[in-house]
Structure 1
C-alpha cells in the first residue's frame, strides 16, 4: 500500500503524490505483449497457479462427477446414463473445474501475505518466483473469471460458478481464511460442495441433474455429507503449512488450538467419517460379503491409517504424505454410491 501523506512532517498532504500504477488497459496490453514474446513462459506461469491444487480440487471434482454419474441408479435416477456417456463428459468436467479453480488460486496467491507465505512453503509458485507481477496476475484472474462464467452459462454449473466467485472473495479479499479457522474450514467445505455438485451436473445433464437434487432423494444429503467431511478434516493440509501460516498471521486450527490438539481432532473425525459415510449407503446391512461391504471396509481401514499417521508421524514430509492419502480417501468416498448400486444390481 502507498504510505500516508501525513507520515512526513512539515510537508502539506496535497504535495505528496501516490505511486502510479498501470491502468487496467495498460496492464492488459503489457500482458498481451509478454504473452506474444514468451508464450511458453506465460502458459507455464498460469499452470503453476493451480499445480498444487490439482489433487485437491481437480481430481476430487472429476472423481465425484464421474463416479456419481456411473452410480446414478443409487440416487433413483431412471434411466441412468450409460457409462460411455459419462466418460465422454470427462473433458468438459475437467475444463469446467479448472476454469473455476484458476481465478480463485490467482486471487489467493497474488495477495501480499500469500506471496510471503509461499516464499517459505512453495517458493516455486508463480508469484514468489517472480514469473508474473501482481498487476498481470489480476488481469489474468479477471479474464478467467469471465471464461468460467461463459463456460458455465453454456454447459451448466452457473449457480456453482457464481457461488465460487463469492466464496473466493470471502476467502481471499475479505480474508475469511485468515481470521478464523472455523470460517476457513466452512469456506473450504462449501467450495468442495460447489466443485463436486458442478461436476456431477455437467456429467448428468439438466434433466437427470434435477432428479439428483430432488428434495426427497439421496443426492442433496450426500453432498451435505461431503461438505461436512471436508469441513471437519480439511485442516489436514494445515499441519504441514504451519510455518508459512504463522508468518502471515493466519488462524488455522493447528495454530489456534495447538498442533497436538489439532491432530487428535483430525484423527477423531477421520474415524467417525470412516464409519458413518459407508453406513449411509448401507455398509453393515449387506451381510459379510459383497462389493459394498468390502469397499466400506476399505474406507474404514484407510481412515484408520490416516488417523494413525496424523497422530504418530509429525514431520512436514510425513504430513504431506498423509494429506495425499486424505485426498485418496476422499475420492474413494465418491465410489460408495456406485458400489451400493452394483451390490444391489448384481447381488454381489
Structure 2
C-alpha cells in the first residue's frame, strides 16, 4: 500500500519513479527530462531552432531597426546569451505543447501520427499532464520575470495557448487556427530577440521592427498549413477543420505554393538584400512550392515541411543581408 508521501508524489509529480516505496529523485529527473523532450521534440525544428535563429540574427542586425536602444551587439555577448535564448523559447513552448497533446482527441490523433509521444505511449496519464501544464505555465512566467526577458510575449503565449488548446481555436476554423499560429510565432521570435538583447523591445518607437514582425505573421498566416498536409488523417479523426480538410487537398496546396512564391520575392525586397540573398530566398520558395504541388505522399509532405522550416530560418537571416 502507498504511504501518504508516495501518493502525494504520484499525484503532484507525475513523472516520479520509485524503487519499491523509495522515491528516487535522480531517476525522476531523468524521466521528467526525457518526457519533456518527447513533448517538444516535434517543435524543435519548427519553433525552438528557428526562433533562436531569429533572436540571434535580428539582434546582430539591431542597427537596421531604427530607434532601438542599441545600435550594435557584440558577437561575444550574443554567444554568451545563446543558451538563455534557447531556454527562453523552449520553456515557454513546454506548457503549450503539453496542453496541445493532452486532450482525448489529440491522443487519438497522435496514436496514428506520433505514437511515441508521452500520452499515446502511456508514459503519462491525462491527469498527470493537466498538472504538468499548469505547473509549467507558472514556471515559464516565473522564468520570464526572473530573467526580465519576454514577459509580454510569455503572457501572450499563455493566452494564445488557452485559446488554441482549450477554447477550440485550433479546431473550428482554419483562418482562426492560422491566425493564432501567426501570433504565436511573433511571440516566440520577438521574445527570443528580447532574450538576446537583454532588454524589452520598444515596439512603439521601432516601426521597422513592427513591420518585420508583421511580415513574419503574414508568412505564417498564409503558409503554416504546410504542417497540416501530412496530418490530414489524424485531423479528420478529431474533426479538426484545417485548411486542406475544409477547401480540399489540392486547393490548399495551390494556396501554399502561391503565397510562398510571393513571400520568397517580397521578403528580400523588404530588406533590399544582396542579389545572392534574393536568389536563395526565391530558389527555396520555388522548391517548397513545387514539392507541395508535385509530391503529395505522406513522406514527401514531411520532407517539404522540413524544407519550409529551412526557408523560414533563412528568411530570419535577411536583415543581415540588407545592403548598407
TM exceeds 0.5?
A: yes
Equivalent residue, structure 2, for 1:113: 105
1:272 aligns with 2:262: yes
Native 8 Å contact 1:66 1:203 kept in 2 = yes
Is the CA contact 1:24–1:139 (under 8 Å) kept in the aligned structure 2? Answer: no
Q: Report 1:284-295 matches (<5 A).
A: 292-295=274-277
Partner in structure 2 of residue 47 of structure 1:
37
Quickly say closer, same or farther: Cα 1:274–1:24, change in 2 above 3 A: farther
1:83 aligns with 2:75: yes
Verify: 1:28 aligned to 2:5, yes or no.
no
1:170 is displaced (CA, Å) by: 0.5
Q: Is the 8 A contact 2:173 2:242 kept in 1?
A: yes
Q: Does 1:124 align with 2:116?
A: yes
Mapped contact 2:62–2:72 kept (Cα < 8 A): yes
Partner of 2:129: 137
Q: Is the 8 A contact 2:88 2:144 kept in 1?
A: yes
Displacement of 1:33 after TM fit?
5.5
Quote the offset at 1:31 in angstroms. Answer: 4.7
CA distance in 1, matches of 2:130, 2:187: 23
List gaps (5 residues or longer) in structure 2. 1-6
Q: Distance in 2 between matches of 1:56 and 1:193?
A: 13
Distance 2:81 2:13 in 1: 35
Partner residue in 2 for 1:151:
143
RMSD: 1.8
- The structure having more radius of gyration, on CA atoms, is 1
After the TM superposition, which segments of 4 or more aligned residues of structure 1 sit over 2 Å from their partners? Answer: 23-26, 29-43, 76-79, 213-217
What CA deviation, in whole Å up to 9, does each residue of 1:177-229 have, x standing for no partner?
Answer: 0111111100100000000000001111227x32xx24453101000100110
- Which residue pairs with 2:178 in the alignment? 185
Q: What is the alpha-carbon distance in structure 2 between the residues aligned to residue 307 and residue 186 of structure 1?
A: 21
d(CA) in 1 for partners of 2:250, 2:112: 23
Could you list the runs of 5+ residues in structure 1 that have no partner in the other structure?
Answer: 1-22, 284-291
Aligned pair in 2 of structure 1 residues 153, 261: CA closer, same or farther (>3 Å)?
same
State the shift of 1:84 in Å.
1.3
> Contact (CA 8 Å) 1:254, 1:261: kept in 2 or not?
yes
Q: Distance in 2 between matches of 1:43 and 1:134?
A: 18
Indicate whether 1:74 and 2:92 are aligned. Answer: no
Contact kept, 8 Å, 2:14 with 2:124, in 1: the verdict is: no
Partner of 1:204: 197
How far is the alpha carbon of 1:26 from its aligned partner?
6.6
Shift of 1:88: 1.3
- Tell me if structure 2 keeps the 8 A contact 1:89–1:202: yes
- After TM superposition, the score normalised by the length of structure 2 is 0.91
Task: Give the structure 2 partner of residue 303 of structure 1.
Answer: 285
Counterpart of 1:313 (choices 274, 292, 295) is 295
Alpha-carbon distance in 2 for matches of 1:87, 1:257: 45
